Structure 1
Amino acid sequence: MAKQGSRNLWQGVLCEWADVLDVTDASTVVTLGEGGTPLIESRVLSQVTDARVLVKFEGLNPTGSFKDRGMTVAVSRAVERGAKAIACASTGNTSASAAAYAAAAGIQAIVLVPEGRISMGKLAQSVVHGARIVQVRGNFDDCLEISKELAEQYPVHLVNSVNDDRIEGQKTAALEIVDVLGDAPDIHCIPVGNAGNITSYWRGYSLAETTGAATKRPRMLGFQAAGAAPIVRGERVLEPDTVATAIRIGNPASWQQALDARDESGGHIGAIDDREILKAQKLLASSTGVFVEPASAISVAGLLERHAAGEIPAGSTIALTVTGHGLKDAQWGLKLEDGSDAVPESADADTAQVAQLLGLA
């Protein structure tokens, strides 16, 4: 048994990575203990791809998604600058994170979401944390444009990933992977929605190489849902449509940065259809014990698609980011592969009957 008081409590991104986040004594740190998420080896994915596949489970951040890494920095900076309110556009995860960190900071969160296009789990988080929520009759891109105009014209601080503080905080996930592995992986698979996360990982890996913490940078493999794939198509998608609500974005704010990460790494950005996304969600949950929302499962589906295309060298070390917990969009976990509802079997309160039903008798 460890000696009492001998284990240090994780202090959150701004404290743990203060040396790369420009934290000063005057900084106002608003943290919920984000970061430090596990890197889990997937036995089945490793066997299927003949590689070493490790899953960075960002759903174990405080509000259930990777957004918390950037939000702690963005909200801390907002408070430091005297802001009394923050604003964001969101498909769900950003609003949940912004609402929680605003509550912790004692300031108001204003969140704009597309009407009828946000999961109840994510909306509930914004509600319970006390955010002022406006459902906009439009899509995410409309919400983001309005949020930017609000920040320009009124005393509110924008905390979407167009704010570089968000990218700075999110780069720490790449640094954690390097810290655990002792080097960068050969390949990194990641969902692409607004494209802030692929941008931040590339920044983190580039920093690790520059400082000598890593000897290389990985090939970045990003994946968009087929119904919301503007980067793949090379044009804005006016009505993005996919079960992967967190990446249902038609005009990514970090579009060019995503292309830079792809091109500089010799990587790839591809499109995956919803059926493959949902199959991958169930595969990861049933084989690795990691339950993620559909937008996260696209990393798994994308890896399998690239392997089938012969693009994954045997023996590679692959990091795979899953960005949000499955409880964020739990309805899809209740569906079978054919799309029907999962219905548990029933029995009387009788041991013999239960044993017979289970095939034990």
Structure 2
Amino acid sequence: MSCDCGGLLEVRQDFRLADAERLKTLFDCRLALRTGPYASGVWRYKELIDPELEEAHIVTRGEGNTGLYDCAPAAIHAGVRRVWLKAQGENPSGSFKDNGMTAAVSRGVFAGYRAFACASTGNTSSSLAMYAAWAGLRCVVLVPPGGVAANKLMQTLAYGAEVYGIEGGYDAGVRLLNRCGEALGLYVCNSVNPFRIEGQKSMIIEAAHQLGWTLPDWVVLPGGALSNASALGKGLLEMKAIGLIGKVPRIAVVQAEGASPFHRMIASGGGELVPEPAPRTAASAIRIGNPPSWRKAARVLRDCAGVTCAVSDEAIMAAKRVIDRSGIGCEPAAAAGLAGLKKLAAEGTISRDETALVVLTGHMLKDADALRVSVPDPGLSPLAPDELFSRLAGVR
């Protein structure tokens, strides 16, 4: 799914005749739906996602419809005026991948495929496996042995996917599928698939809808494969061109220090990404050394006055604790956005008077090992009822 220039294919839609006010009215009307494809928080915006796809081919689990939370503890932690958290972990499979996967799988079904595949660090595989199981399709998954959180791997297997380990990790898996997927009759659903990007746009479209079509000053998100940066930037620019929003927010892409080839390229002013051969970070979902969507992401940074930064695992886990204890929760990779917002505010790149929307990419139960690190041992030795009563009375 690459073009002759070496970049990735991209869907270009003609929105010149789009009527912003008509679309707003249509989207508002669909909010009342409880069943059918337009009850989905992705397909509610079908005219912006895939207007030509026939409704009969839509494969949906009611994805999207995720909460957008005005979170004071997150704003205090970051040192900015206001922070909204877009909790994509509330999706059916527990991550933002569902927004894009419903669009990719639907297009694959439309094209006649019955076998679907991906390379994954966890969330992509569990999302694809879920949709494949729902639609009665074959699912093949390639994973880096030891590089996927156990809960994500178990989730993928529980949905019935065929899972194979591959030497060379995620990057090798993507290369293999790009080279051999079609010959094997497999429809590849990694972020190289342009319809994945179209579906993922719905995250920022839905957030704009939730905020009355006026977005904060910044959109901050973790960067792994960089499909999210590509998708959100594309969605922002298209909404501005249609007239759905009046101003495009700036974008900040945050990577972990041990897996930050994109940030290093941007910070150095270089024009070519140098892969990280051995990416390392506790945030396994963004442990990617050669992000396939880096060219698209670089273009988004240019068009949206964007910036990048890299944060330590310690900063990621500190941000995760804030998000968890606010009552929302997220996996480590998702917390990278808030950690990056804090760093950028401390450096003065983001003003303390500005506002931000932080995309939380995955559910807190996606990575149980991270929870064991971040949550103190409760010490659940049994207590006699009278002793328990005395302890509780003493801490009132």
> Within the alignment, does 1:198 sit opposite 2:237 as a pair?
no
Match of 1:237 among 276, 291, 296: 276
For 2:172, what is the secondary structure of its paired residue? helix
One-letter amino acid of the structure 1 residue matched with residue 46 of structure 2: A
Residues 122-157 of structure 1 deviation map (CA, whole Å, 9 limit, x = unaligned) = 011111111111011221101111121231322111
Alpha-carbon separation, structure 2, partners of 1:344 and 1:216: 51
Other-structure match for 1:101: 131
Distance in 1, matches of 2:298 and 2:54, equals 36
Are residue 33 (structure 1) and residue 71 (structure 2) matched? no
Q: Taking structure 1 as reference, are residues 119 and 305 closer, same or farther at Cα in structure 2, changes over 3 Å only?
A: same
Q: Specify every segment of 5 or more residues in structure 1 that has no aligned partner in the other structure, as ranges.
A: 1-5
How much does 1:32 deviate? 0.5
- The percent identity for this pair of structures is 36
**Among candidates 9, 15, 18, match of residue 43 of structure 2:** 15
SS in 2 for 1:152: coil
Q: CA deviation at 1:284?
A: 1.3
The yes-or-no answer on 1:324 pairing with 2:362 is yes
Given that residues 93 and 122 in structure 1 are in contact (C-alpha distance below 8 angstroms), is that contact kept between their aligned partners in structure 2? yes
Per mean C-alpha deviation after superposition, the further-off stretch among 57-66 and 253-262 is: 253-262
Q: Name the aligned partner's letter for residue 8 of structure 1.
A: L
2:90 pairs with one of 47, 52, 60? 60
Shifted more, 233-242 versus 306-315: the winner is 306-315
Residue 258 of structure 2 aligns to which amino acid in structure 1? G
Taking structure 2 as the reference length, what is the TM-score of the superposition?
0.85
Q: 2:381 aligns with which of 342, 346, 357?
A: 346
Going from structure 1 to structure 2, the CA distance change for 1:315 and 1:117 (only over 3 Å counts) comes to same
Q: CA, structure 1 residues 349+75, in 2 after alignment: closer, same or farther (shift >3 Å)? A: same
How far 1:315 sits from its partner (Å)?
Answer: 3.3
Change (3 A) 1:360 1:14: closer
Separation of aligned partners in 2, 1:359 and 1:311:
47
Following superposition of structure 1 onto structure 2, how do residues 215-234 of structure 1 map, counting pairs within 5 Å?
215-234=246-265
Aligned length: 352
Secondary structure of the residue that 1:335 maps to in structure 2?
Answer: helix
Equivalents in 2 of 1:23, 1:232: separation in Å? 36
Q: 1:117 aligned to 2:147?
A: yes
Secondary structure of the 1:33 match is coil
Q: Deviations over 1:70-96 (max 9, x none)?
A: 110111111111101011000000000
State the partner residue of 2:302. Answer: 263
Amino acid at match of 1:53: V
Whether the aligned pair in 1 keeps the contact of 2:229 and 2:297 (CA below 8 Å) is yes
CA contact (8 A) 1:27 1:76 kept: no
**Which residue of structure 2 aligns with residue 355 of structure 1?**
390
Which of 236, 239, 242 is equivalent to 1:211?
242
Moved more, 218-227 or 152-161: 152-161
- Decide which of 73, 76, 92 is 2:106's aligned counterpart: 76
CA distance in 2, matches of 1:28, 1:244: 35
1:296 aligned onto 2:334: yes
The yes-or-no answer on 1:89 pairing with 2:128 is no
If the length of structure 1 is used for normalisation, what is the TM-score? 0.93
The residue type paired with residue 118 of structure 2 is C
Aligned to 2:314: 275
C-alpha RMSD of the superposition = 1.8
Deviations 1:251-287 (A, max 9, x none): 001011111122222221111111111111111111x
In 2, Cα distance between equivalents of 1:130 and 1:327: 20
Aligned counterparts of 1:326 and 1:218: Cα–Cα separation in 2: 27
User: Is the 1:139–1:239 Cα contact (8 Å) retained in structure 2?
Assistant: no
Q: Which runs of 5+ in 2 are unaligned?
A: 1-30, 266-273
> After superposition, what is the alpha-carbon deviation per residue over 1:77-125, rounded to whole angstroms, capped at 9, x for unaligned?
1111110101100000000001000111111000000011111110111
Q: Does 1:285 align with 2:316?
A: no
- Cα contact 1:141–1:251 (8 A) shared by 2: yes
Cα deviation code 1:18-45 (max 9, x no counterpart): 1112244465010011001110011122
Paired residue for 1:171? Answer: 201
* Aligned residue identity for 2:72: R
State which drifts further: 40-49 or 250-259.
Answer: 40-49
Sort the Cα spacing of 1:14 and 1:357 in 2 relative to 1 into closer, same or farther, 3 A.
closer
**Alignment check: 8 A CA contact 1:347 1:354 kept:** no
Distance in 2, Cα, partners of 1:229 & 1:262: 16
Query: How big is each residue's C-alpha offset from its partner over 1:308-327, in whole Å with a ceiling of 9 and x where there is no partner?
Result: 11222243221000100010
Deviation at 1:335, TM superposition (A): 1.8
Counterpart CA distance in 2 for 1:163 and 1:139 is 19
Distance 1:270 1:354 in 2: 50
Deviation, structure 1 residue 358? 7.1
Pairwise CA distance, 1:345: 4.8
Q: Deviations over 1:312-359 (max 9, x none)?
A: 22432210001000100022122248xxx6243534132444532673
